[in-house]
Amino acid sequence: MKCISCGTAMKTKRENYHYVESGLPHVSLESIDVSRCAGCGESEVAIPAIEDLHRVIAESLIQKRSRLAPAEIRFLRKYLGWSGTDFAKRAGTTPETVSRWETGASPMGGASDRLLRLLVVTKTPVNDYSVDALAEIEVDRSPRPMRLGLTRDRKGGWRPRSGRDFVTA
């Protein structure tokens, strides 16, 4: 492989690599191919299966016992593929609040911390439920109980009744 900066041949070695590109301060990857140019000092890193890597990082972060740090909040939001505004809608807050969480200007509350972890766990929605429904919850209306009729399906399981028996409040 040749250096894209100066054209000199690069030498590749397996090294432990501090993965700063993740946005997290303490992520190390073991035995990664790093190519270095002897001519100009340029280096290139080959990180295989990056989507799987990010999934493992996300799964590890949501299992930690302490609250999420600002960089971890940002990583998980980006892992979910959301802008700050998208995440704010789903969390029922403002984009400015999300920004403050991600910069460390104010701590993320316990309920929001748990919600973010839950959203990471349920990234692939179950059947027809989508986490996008969280953005549609009406927070200004008074809470009212939901009237729900349930019926057995042909396989012996349960399903909501259709029509007037299944009324959302």
Q: Is the domain of 125 the same as that of 92?
A: yes
Fill in the DSSP letter of residue 13.
Answer: E
Residue-level pLDDT at 160: 72
Domain assignment of residue 102, yes or no: yes
> What tokens does 155 get?
């396989």
Q: Is the domain of 23 the same as that of 55?
A: no
Domain assignment of residue 169, yes or no: no
**Amino acid letter for position 73:** I
Over residues 100-148, the pLDDT tens digits come to: 999 999 999 999 999 999 999 987 533 344 556 666 666 666 666 666 7
Cα distances from 62 to residues 10, 59, 159, in angstroms, run 38, 5, 32
Question: 49 pLDDT exceeds 90?
Answer: no
Q: Is the pTM of this model over 0.85?
A: no
Q: Is the domain of 21 the same as that of 72?
A: no
Of 103, 59, 101, 106, whose CA–CA distance to 80 is shortest? Answer: 59
Q: Is the domain of 68 the same as that of 41?
A: no
Domain residues for 134?
Answer: 49-138
Domain assignment of residue 21, yes or no: yes
> What tokens does 78 get?
């980006």
Q: Is the domain of 104 the same as that of 66?
A: yes
Q: Is the domain of 23 the same as that of 77?
A: no
